[in-house]
Structure 1
Amino acid sequence: MKPVDSFLLILLAAGAIQGLIYGFILLKKNAKNKSANLFLATILFFFSYRLIVEICKLFGYGFYDFWYHVFIEFNWIYGALIYFFVKASVTPKFKINFKKDWIHFLPVFIEFLWSNFIKSQNFYWDGTQESLSWLGYYGYIVWMHYPTMFIISGLLIIFYAYKSSQILKQKRDEHLIYIDKVQWIKRVLFVLKYYAIFLIVMVLVDVLFFDYAFRKYYSYPLFIGMAIVTYWLGLEGFNRRNNDVIKTQNIIPDKEKQQLEQIAKALKKLMEEDEIYTNPDLNLAILSEKLNVKPYQTSKCLNVIFGKKFNDFVNEYRIKALKDILKNPKNEKFTLLSLAFDVGFNSKSSFNRAVKKITGKSPKDLKSSN
């Protein structure tokens, strides 16, 4: 085996093993988000299977031998699995409705039948066109001499990545989606979509300029990319297997919702015009007194209308005000902590925690960026 093939073997094996290990971890019964984890594990298993097939080919198995008929293509299943992974992630107690959802698995069923039909032509082929039926001959040409399966696979991934991103944007009355906790799902869609675009571009370059010889220089990057994606996806899924992406809530009557919206309007006025957040002793009771409502109503307004907790809501205003202060060169002579006290923070520790949680940066980075 050539050094480049050995290097490829190590990369593909690392991706395949990672996919299998984390796939089985995601199937554990005691994990949260069981349905979403199941679909993510299935994606990892199919990626790993595809990598194992390529590993076998490096050892000379799968080229018109017994294994050629055993290794079946499942390239068209990734799109549907991505779609159901996202749907299960943001839908409480998700279950597939086969009467309605079977259509999403139709492509892989077609690919399975067509791939077996094409592979069966080798039993009749004697080197002449006449030995095959018209459909068998031209079907073989389209399937084996053009990147048909790869292009369709890439297009399906792109289509379902877009369809899945629309699911994340849908507004739901029956439950809330934690925006910060679906960012990793958006990253998954982003990576898979652009991997699919890369796949399509590479095979089109090969077929347009190199007569689809599918040289190693063009096939290697595709499967190395798949190995990297599988390795990364396994880590992402493992680290977030217990994430609570959604929070169920009762549907609020229109009258109550209107009351909460009125409270929200008054609340924004207090924050933006009166700058009540600069009060270091501000708490839910004081804020509710200013609004002339009960504390539970203020809390519900923050939860339903703004989707935030009291501390996060107030601290966001404080940090925004602090950023505005830092933009003024006249304030460079003051310490960051003294300016933080001016906008309402009452201790160094609470300030540091708030900055890290809301901006993802340290207070030092906050100052340097402004």
Structure 2
Amino acid sequence: MNTVFTIGIFLCFFLQFLLLSKKQASISDRILGVWMFFIGLHLFSYYLYYLGYWDRYPHLSGIHHPFPLLHGPFLYLYVLFSLKSDQRLRWRDYLHFSPALLFYVYMIPFLFFYSAEEKLMVNHGEVDDYAGFIVFSLFAFFASGLGYAIASYRMLSRHEHLTSQNFAYSESIDMGWLKYFIWGIGMIFLVTAVVILFEWSMGVNFGFNTDLVLYVPLVGFILFLGYSGIRQKNIFADGTSQIPQIVEPKLPGEYVRSGLKTELAQQYHQKLLDYMSANKPYLEPKLSLGHLARELDISANHLSQIINQYEEKNFFDFVNTYRVNEFKQRVADPANSSYSILAIALDSGFNSKSSFNQVFKKVSGKTPSQHISGA
């Protein structure tokens, strides 16, 4: 068990260093780096408790008690600034950490004015000075973690919907990995809550330190989160100073009030189809709705409406259908027989092998190999 904690603590501080020293680190990178630092402190302080140092040095006890209230806000802010074009922290963003600060304020008498003997008595449950506070803290920890996890998950779901309406690629802007992280952490908190409920309310003795149900799996998730966070880029970090226009998709009934007349919409639709056939903009791997709208001299909102109404697809599926058809034409040409499937896919506008395979199967119902073999 000592090895698990040592690895976890080392990973936290090492990943923090990598994130904060990352070239052109974004606000989300810095948030994740600071979060890693606090997770490291949390693990280290609990490890001291696990080793029995609180009994030897009672003044160490309670220092990390409010730390669980930090993790939800860090998760939420990391997701928020991974998806925002405005990369500035404002004062209201810091308010998410006020509950943890209030906990420390409430604990001032214990932290600074209790003697070592009094702290030991509180830790061993021999006095009830903070018994109610401990119970309230547990509810607050789980409420904070669950609430921020739900808010972050909803934000990610909205992000997925927005990107499918505005971008024809998913590489570097896909945050699906973070959904898996949230689900994993949620399961850990749920299991921990059930264990504590049985232990405290029903007096069940599990025969092991139940705190480890939370802390041991956390080490694995630290590695997953840190590694993925280092690779992740802000969706607006495209190497240019220009921020792409993001269009909020509307429900079908809302287009009635858009102001775009049917006759003009049909003209725009035909203009779009003619441009896609003649100029093949889909060969640009990082094509966006805003970029295509500028080329067509149509507003991005109107272009989004046309694709959704007349093609009955989102922008991602609309463009990638053209890429799949381009691949089919190229792979059938004997002149391309010496090229690999991946090379032809990249020439057809796809960004990677994984996205190509996924999109091709979605559009055609077959894998690329099955299509080529005629299966």
The TM-score normalised by the length of structure 2 is 0.64
Pick aligned residue for 2:7 from 8, 14, 17: 14
> Corresponding residue for 1:55?
47
2:109, 2:168 → 1: CA distance? 47
The alpha-carbon distance between structure 1 residues 127 and 195, as it changes in their structure 2 partners (threshold 3 A), is closer
> Corresponding residue for 2:357?
359
1:258, 1:28 → 2: CA distance? 53
| 1:149 and 2:137 are equivalent in the alignment | yes
Q: CA deviation at 1:36?
A: 0.7
Q: CA deviation at 1:159?
A: 1.5
> Gapped runs of 5+ residues in structure 1?
1-7, 288-293, 323-336
1:157, 1:107 → 2: CA distance? 12
Give the partner amino acid of 2:21. Answer: K
> Corresponding residue for 1:314?
322
> Corresponding residue for 1:37?
29
Give the partner amino acid of 2:10. Answer: I
Q: CA deviation at 1:179?
A: 7.0
> Corresponding residue for 1:191?
181
| 1:94 and 2:102 are equivalent in the alignment | no
CA deviation string 1:125-176 (max 9, x = no partner): 49999xx9xxx965521344x4x43443233222222222333416889x95
CA deviation string 1:68-116 (max 9, x = no partner): 2544531101111111111111222322221x33442222112222344
2:300, 2:119 → 1: CA distance? 76
The alpha-carbon distance between structure 1 residues 197 and 56, as it changes in their structure 2 partners (threshold 3 A), is same
Q: Which moved more, 1:16-25 or 1:193-202?
A: 193-202
Pick aligned residue for 1:110 from 89, 92, 102: 102
Give the partner amino acid of 1:297. Answer: L
1:22, 1:304 → 2: CA distance? 42
1:115, 1:260 → 2: CA distance? 67
2:110, 2:173 → 1: CA distance? 42
> Corresponding residue for 1:219?
211
2:320, 2:119 → 1: CA distance? 73
- Count residues in correspondence: 319
Contact 2:4 2:219 in 1 (8 A): yes
Match of 2:130, SS state, is helix
Q: CA deviation at 1:190?
A: 3.6
Matches within 5 A, 1:140-179: 140-144=130-134, 146=135, 148-168=136-156, 169=158
Q: Which moved more, 1:153-162 or 1:63-72?
A: 63-72
Give the partner amino acid of 2:186. Answer: A
Pick aligned residue for 1:229 from 196, 214, 221: 221
1:127, 1:237 → 2: CA distance? 40
Matches within 5 A, 1:192-271: 192-209=182-199, 211=203, 216-241=208-233, 244=236, 248-249=243-244, 262=266, 265-266=269-270
After superposition, the CA RMSD in angstroms is: 5.0
2:119, 2:170 → 1: CA distance? 60
The alpha-carbon distance between structure 1 residues 304 and 97, as it changes in their structure 2 partners (threshold 3 A), is farther
Q: CA deviation at 1:368?
A: 5.8
Identity level (%): 15
Computing the radius of gyration from Cα coordinates, the structure with the larger value is: 1
Match of 2:68, SS state, is coil
Contact 1:47 1:226 in 2 (8 A): no
Contact 2:172 2:232 in 1 (8 A): no
The alpha-carbon distance between structure 1 residues 127 and 79, as it changes in their structure 2 partners (threshold 3 A), is closer
The alpha-carbon distance between structure 1 residues 250 and 318, as it changes in their structure 2 partners (threshold 3 A), is closer
1:244, 1:295 → 2: CA distance? 18
Pick aligned residue for 2:71 from 43, 66, 78: 78
1:27, 1:204 → 2: CA distance? 36
Contact 1:176 1:248 in 2 (8 A): no
The TM-score normalised by the length of structure 1 is 0.65
2:368, 2:336 → 1: CA distance? 18
> Gapped runs of 5+ residues in structure 2?
248-257, 284-292, 305-313
Matches within 5 A, 1:279-318: 283-284=279-280, 296-297=295-296, 305=304, 307=315, 312-317=320-325
Contact 2:19 2:230 in 1 (8 A): yes
1:298, 1:187 → 2: CA distance? 36
Contact 1:12 1:55 in 2 (8 A): yes
1:312, 1:11 → 2: CA distance? 45
Match of 2:229, SS state, is helix
2:119, 2:5 → 1: CA distance? 35
The alpha-carbon distance between structure 1 residues 284 and 118, as it changes in their structure 2 partners (threshold 3 A), is same
Contact 1:203 1:212 in 2 (8 A): no
Give the partner amino acid of 1:220. Answer: L
1:200, 1:158 → 2: CA distance? 9
| 1:27 and 2:20 are equivalent in the alignment | yes
CA deviation string 1:274-312 (max 9, x = no partner): xx98xxxx6439x9xxxxxx9931898799636569974
Q: Which moved more, 1:219-228 or 1:158-167?
A: 158-167
Q: CA deviation at 1:258?
A: 9.1
Contact 1:51 1:227 in 2 (8 A): no
Give the partner amino acid of 1:152. Answer: A
1:151, 1:215 → 2: CA distance? 24
Match of 1:216, SS state, is coil
